Structure 1
Amino acid sequence: MSHPPITVWGRASSVNVMKVVWLLDELAIPFQRIDAGGAFGRTRDPEYAAMNPNATVPTLVMPHGYTLWESHAILRYLCRTQPGGNAFYPEAPEARADAERWMDWTLASMNEPMRVVFWTLVRTPEPQRDMAACAAAQVAAERLWRIADAQLEGRDFIAGAFGLGDIALGGFLHRWFALPIERPELPRLRGWYDRLLERTPYQTHVAVPLS
């Protein structure tokens, strides 16, 4: 009897859903994605709440019934359990810590200023936009992108070899270059973005029109 494929609950426009389906595509693992969150709703339905009481996306459902929420926990789990995953999440302690540093930094530092800029300029009607808050968030995001740009000196990817650090940050990186804002010239950052654009899963799931 065949098992259902891995299921990812969450709308395609969610930056956190993008991370998960990007990794699954990199690993060439079949999956199905079910729209949830945002205009699709469903996250407060009893069925969904039983899987993820936070009413957030994504939620991963494995063929054997195991469910998991929090995008970075999902990324780590998939790399530890799926063929080829160690290529993106190395066993060596320092290489793994380097990737995890950027994963944690994405959530602790980059997430909030990029969320404010993106929501203001993409998802908020113009008359309701708080442009002062947006400008302050853009300054904060630029400072962080300068940190990433400096880190990329002599490196093709944020933690050396392509891996979970890139997948964690890659959605915000696309938004930074796609948003209608003035950006400083950061050649290493732009080179990193261009290298990610060469990856078909990134083009397919992440480097898409902002919505």
Structure 2
Amino acid sequence: MMRKLWGRASSSNVMKVLWTLEELGLDYERVDAGGAFGRTREPDYRAMNPMGLVPTLQEEDGWALWESNAIARYLCNQYAPGGSLYPSAPRARAAVETWMDWTLGHVTAPMVTIFFTHVRLKEHERDWAAEGKARVDCARLWKIVDGKVASQRFLCGEDLTLADIALGCWVHRWHVLPIERPALPNLARYYEALKTRPGFTRHVALPLE
């Protein structure tokens, strides 16, 4: 069978893996799962991913892996070891992983709050106080990124890495959500640099849904 990626295209975590697959030039079939598509509660899916979330990568021999950052690292290690997307030098790799962990540990939660408030939740479900706090938190975090990319194209230098792939979805959403944003010119230039990658424009820089 062909390699499969289980997950709906609108999921930020699925986008991350789709972009990685594109950067590596790997063939795959995406199978809709999660949200309105269901499937994630089915026993066969839970056998691959006990959390019942997306994405799940299923290799041609049936072996499966879940958690988007783990999938992205695996794909690089398996199919492009030593490549610039996930460098093998310990310090360069540590820098990439620092930004991946930072995105997961700090950016994701407040950005999810903002995104769900404006896109996914019905009016009576929206907590505008929480949205306001999340915007303040995110403004502080994006200022850190703005400083980091002041003198370089991407987070870890001139080459795209998994650090950028992990953060990229939130960069896009921050710029297109109907919210007030502080002026961060370096972050804006970074967003434009991400747009030069076909995998980003194809899978990440999409209308919000």
Q: What percentage of aligned pairs have identical amino acids? A: 52
Q: Distance in 2 between matches of 1:7 and 1:178?
A: 30
Matched residue count: 208
Is 1:82 the equivalent of 2:79?
yes
| Residue of 49, 71, 78 corresponding to 2:46 | 49
- Given residue 95 of structure 1, which amino acid in structure 2 is its aligned partner? A
CA contact (8 A) 2:82 2:88 kept: no
Structure 2 SS opposite 1:87:
coil
Q: What are the residue-to-residue correspondences of 1:5-20 with 2, within 5 Å?
A: 5-20=2-17
Q: Which residue of 1 aligns with 2:139?
A: 142
**2:175 pairs with one of 162, 177, 192:** 177
Moved over 6 A (4+): none
| Residues 1:68 and 2:65 aligned together | yes
Q: Distance in 2 between matches of 1:146 and 1:39?
A: 35
In structure 2, distance between residues paired with 1:153 and 1:129: 35
Residue by residue, what CA displacement relative to the aligned partner does 1:123-179 show, whole Å, maximum 9, x if unpaired? Answer: 001232111111111111111111111111211001112110000000011000010
**What whole-Å deviation, never above 9, does each CA across 1:10-64 have from its counterpart, x for those lacking one?**
0000000000010101111111101111111111111111100101100000112
Please give the residue correspondences for 1:108-119 in structure 2 after superposition, counting only pairs within 5 Å. Answer: 108-119=105-116
Q: Secondary structure at the match of 1:150?
A: helix
Q: In the alignment, which of 101, 106, 116 is matched to residue 103 of structure 2?
A: 106
**Alignment correspondent of 1:35:** 32
Secondary structure in 2 matching 1:142? helix
Does 2:191 correspond to 1:193? Answer: yes
Contact 2:81 2:88 in 1 (8 A): no
Partner of 1:208 in structure 2? 206
With normalisation by structure 2, the TM-score equals: 0.97
Task: Decide whether the 8 Å contact of 1:171 with 1:206 is kept in 2.
Answer: yes
> In the alignment, residue 54 of structure 2 is paired with which amino acid?
V
- The amino acid across from 1:103 in the alignment is M
Q: Tell me the CA shift for residue 87 of structure 1.
A: 2.1
* Residue aligned with 1:107, SS: helix
TM-score (norm 1): 0.96
Q: Cα distance, 1:85 vs. partner?
A: 6.7
Give the distance between the partners of 1:85 and 1:66, measured in 2 at CA.
Answer: 23
Consecutive unaligned residues of structure 2, counting only runs of 5 or more, are none
Where 1:8 maps in the other structure, the secondary structure is strand
Find the partner of 1:166 among 155, 164, 167: 164
Name the amino acid aligned to 1:152: V
Letter in 1 for 2:21: L
SS at match of 1:68: strand
CA distance in 2, matches of 1:41, 1:105: 30
Give the superposition deviation at 1:207: 0.1
